[in-house]
Amino acid sequence: MTIKQQGGIFGRNPSFNDVDVENVDVENIDISVGTVTGNLTLNGSGSGNGLIKNSGTGFGVGTDRWIGADGSDDAWFFNVPTGGQHYFAINNSNKLSISGNDVNVLLGNLVIGTSGKGIDFSATSDASGSTSELFDDYEEGTWTGKIADAASSGNESSSTVYGNYVKIGNMVYVDFNVSNIDTTGLTSGNDVYITGLPFTSASVSGSAYYSGTVVTSVVTFSNEPILFMFENATSLLLNENRSASGSDFIVVSELSSGVSDIHGNLCYRAA
């Protein structure tokens, strides 16, 4: 049957059941009828060519309402089941749903594909000193360092510092331990440095350092130590707090070679 046999597409009251069309190029198709009771299926001859299918009674509530390819791995569809959630799926597997005002990632991760982009919280109330409400970074991992007698270009111990870190935005939390420190080759009167931090510390207005907690064993100093980190640095120092006198950095000679241990943690702002 052809359209012409029914009086042409512009004929009066055309009526037909099937029309086979190979290609149609149109700008808009306007269907202005109250009820659509049939199904619209576009099937291509190759992978990815089938575009629209509806096996129900309308493109709405129910199952098997989809727009996508013809069942190949790159098939995607949009589905509105009776539960009210709108599903977006790839290859017949639901990936994302929208229910009310919430977006749910059903499979996989939410991936931020561009550096510097993230989740924007600018709709929330701001403190007076707020400078950014963009959550643009999260990272966790391990780091290794050395015991040294200078922040850089100094002598290094053969002992390895083992640490972990978590970076949330520009805040970095690190912890570490080093056991049975070998001080062979280190200059006895030099300060003890823990080098190799995963991120450089930022400059902080009104402060020149960050501090954290530390536990030591088998050492020759007797006052309470704290971790000390200068701004714009990737190394730590041990600062000894002394009663009624100024603080002092712990030096190599105050460690007992082969038996001293250091364990600590610190939170600092990354540059």
- pLDDT of amino acid 13: 54
d(C-alpha 252, C-alpha 166), whole Å: 29
Whether the CA torsion 125, 128, 132, 138 is positive or negative: it is: negative
The tens digit of pLDDT for each residue in 131-140 reads 999 999 999 9
d(C-alpha 269, C-alpha 237), whole Å: 17
Q: Are residues 64 and 185 in the same domain?
A: no
Select from 41, 71, 43 the least CA-distant residue to 56. 41
Residue 259's domain comprises: 138-269
Least confident range of 167-171, 207-211, 220-224:
207-211
Q: Are residues 36 and 100 in the same domain?
A: yes
Q: Are residues 264 and 142 in the same domain?
A: yes
- pLDDT of amino acid 77: 54
Confidence (pTM): 0.72
Judge whether 215 lies within some domain.
Answer: yes
Average pLDDT across the chain, whole number:
79
Do 39 and 55 touch, CB atoms closer than 8 A? yes
Residue with the bigger pLDDT between 88 and 267: it is: 267
Tell me how far CA of residue 101 lies from CA of 6, 84, 95, 104, 120, in angstroms.
49, 12, 17, 10, 16
Residues 101-124 have a mean pLDDT of 91
Judge whether 120 lies within some domain.
Answer: no
Least confident range of 83-87, 131-135, 243-247, 266-270:
83-87
Residue with the bigger pLDDT between 56 and 236: it is: 236
Percentage of the chain beyond pLDDT 90 is 54
CA angle (67 as vertex; 66, 70 as ends), nearest 5: 95
Judge whether 254 lies within some domain.
Answer: yes
Number of domains in the chain: 2
